[in-house]
Amino acid sequence: MYKKDFPILAQSITYLDSAATTQKPKVLLNQTNTFYKKDYANVHRGTCALANQATTLYEEARQKVADFIGAESKNIVFTKGATEAINLVASGYAQMLKEGDEVLVSIAEHHANFVPWQQACIKSGATFKVFNILPDGRFDMNDFKKKISPKTRVVAVGHISNVLGVVNPIKEIVELAHKVGAKVLLDAAQSISHLPISVKDLDVDYLAFSGHKVYGPTGIGVLYGKTEDLNELPPYQFGGDMIDEVKVEGTTFALAPSKFEAGTPPITQAIGLGISLDYIKKIGLEKIQKHEKALMKSLIKGLKEIPNIQFLGDPKHKTALVSFNIAGIHPNDLGFILAKENICVRIGHHCAMPLHTYFKMAASMRVSFGLYNTKQDVQNFLNAFHKAIGFFK
C-alpha cells in the first residue's frame, strides 16, 4: 500500500529485512536534499540566518522525537544510534556502580544491550546477572523475580527482541525494578516503528532507539532519560557545546541534553529523523501495526505447513518479525538460494548469541516486516523458500 513512497522498492526485490534497517521514504530523500540546498549550516553557534534556521530545524526535530514518545525535549539526547545511546548510559554506570551492586539483563538481549553492561560490571566490580526466557520466547518472570534484589541498580531489557518478536511486559518489569530502587533502560530499537510508545506510561528511566530502524537516516539515534537520571549521569564525551565554563583550573558542564552532545552533532540526520517520524505519524502506528499483524498471520500460516520447521519461540507471540530453522539444513544454504531470487532476509545469530545458545542453535533465518510490505512479498518469500528447501531434500 505504501510501497510507492519508497523509491528503492521499485526494483524487483522482496525486502524482508526491516528489523536490520528500514528503507527510506521519498519525503525524507527530498527534504534532506532541500535542507542541504537551502538551510545547511552548523547549529547553536552561528549568527547568520542559515545558522539560525539550521538550529531551529535541529531543535524542532528534538521536539518531534519527544512528542513521538510522550516526552519533553529537554529529556531527548541525540546520539549516533541505539548502540551509542546504551553505551552512553552504561559507561556512566561503569563509573557509578560499585562492588556489591548488580545489573540485570535478559538472555534475549541484543549484544548492544548486553555487552556494554557486562563491561560496565567488569570495570566497576559490580555483578552482571542474566534472567531467562521461557521456551515460548516470553520473559521468565519467575526467574526475573528470583534475580532482582535491593542490590540491583539497573535492569536493561528490550521492548521487542530482534530475534523473538515478542512484546515484553515492560510495565511489570518497571514496577518490580522501581520497588527495589533499580533504574530501567528500555531498548526500543525493535519497537519504535511498530508500537505506540509513551515513556510516561511505561515509566522507564531510559529509552534508546536508532533512526535507521524507523524509516530515518543512519548515524542518528535517541536516548531518552528522566531529568534526575540525566543530571546524575556523567558526560560521555568531552569537547565543544557540552560545557558551561572552561578554565585552566577546571571545567563545568552544560545541562542535559547538551551535556551529552559534544562536538558538531549529526544535524541533517536528526532533522531527517524528524521528517520520518512525521511520515509515520501521518499514517498512524495503529494502522501500521494492524497491517503488519495481518502479514505475520499469513506468513506464519505458510511457515507452519513446512515440515521440520523450528521456530525460535512460539509463533503465536510474533509481532513484525519471526526467526526459524529447518531441521537438518543450514540457514546459510537456504539464504543463498533466497538471495538468488532477490529475497532479502537475515541469517545468522542476529547479534544475540546468548539467545541462540539458549535455543541450542548457532544461527537462524529471520523475516521481518516494514509498513511497505505486502501479501505478495509474503508469497514471494514462501515460494522461494519452498524451492530452496526442495533443493536440499
Active site residues: 351
83 binds ligand PMP (CB under 6 A): yes
The window from 76-84, 171-179, 235-243, 328-336 that contacts ligand PMP (CB under 6 A) reads 76-84
As measured in angstroms, the least distance from the Cβ of 341 to ligand PMP is 24
Binding-residue pattern over the window 209 to 228 for ligand PMP, x denoting contact by CB under 6 A: -x-x----------------
249 touches 103 (CB < 8 A): no
- In sign, the C-alpha dihedral spanning 4, 5, 7, 12 is negative
Phi-psi region of 162 (alpha: psi -120 to 50; beta: other; left: phi over 0): alpha
Binding residue for ligand PMP (CB under 6 A) from 187, 261, 292, 377? 187
Count the neighbouring beta carbons within 10 Å of the beta carbon of residue 356.
18
CB of 31 or CB of 83, closer to ligand PMP: 83
Ranges within 315-374 binding ligand PMP (CB under 6 A): 351
The window from 185-193, 247-255, 307-315, 370-378 that contacts ligand PMP (CB under 6 A) reads 185-193
269 binds ligand PMP (CB under 6 A): no
Q: Can you list the positions of beta strands (E) in 180-320? A: 183-187, 206-210, 221-225, 243-247, 250-253, 309-311
Strands 221-225 and 76-79: antiparallel
| C-alpha span between 373 and 2 (Å, rounded) | 8
123: cell is 570495570
As measured in angstroms, the least distance from the Cβ of 174 to ligand PMP is 18
What values do phi and psi take at 71, rounded to 5?
-120, -175
CB of 81 or CB of 272, closer to ligand PMP: 81
Binding-residue pattern over the window 106 to 125 for ligand PMP, x denoting contact by CB under 6 A: ----x-xx------------
Binding residue for ligand PMP (CB under 6 A) from 14, 22, 75, 190? 190
Amino acid at position 383, single letter: N
The window from 63-71, 80-88, 199-207, 355-363 that contacts ligand PMP (CB under 6 A) reads 80-88
239 touches 54 (CB < 8 A): no
As measured in angstroms, the least distance from the Cβ of 106 to ligand PMP is 11
Scanning the structure block, which residue is given the C-alpha cell 528511566?
205
CB of 107 or CB of 189, closer to ligand PMP: 189
Q: If DSSP codes are grouped into helix, strand and coil, which group holds residue 120?
A: helix
Return the H-helix or E-strand segment holding 201: helix 199-202
Amino acid at position 357, single letter: T
| C-alpha span between 30 and 7 (Å, rounded) | 11
As measured in angstroms, the least distance from the Cβ of 75 to ligand PMP is 20
Binding-residue pattern over the window 130 to 169 for ligand PMP, x denoting contact by CB under 6 A: ----------------------------x---x-------
CA atoms within 13 A of residue 329's CA, in its CB half-sphere:
24
CB of 81 or CB of 335, closer to ligand PMP: 81
As measured in angstroms, the least distance from the Cβ of 159 to ligand PMP is 8
- Concatenated DSSP letters for 76-106? EEEESSHHHHHHHHHHHHHHH--TT-EEEEE
CB of 85 or CB of 174, closer to ligand PMP: 85
Binding residues with ligand PMP: total (CB under 6 A): 14
115 touches 83 (CB < 8 A): no
189 binds ligand PMP (CB under 6 A): yes
Binding residues (CB under 6 A) for ligand PMP: these are 81-83, 110, 112-113, 158, 162, 187, 189-190, 210, 212, 351
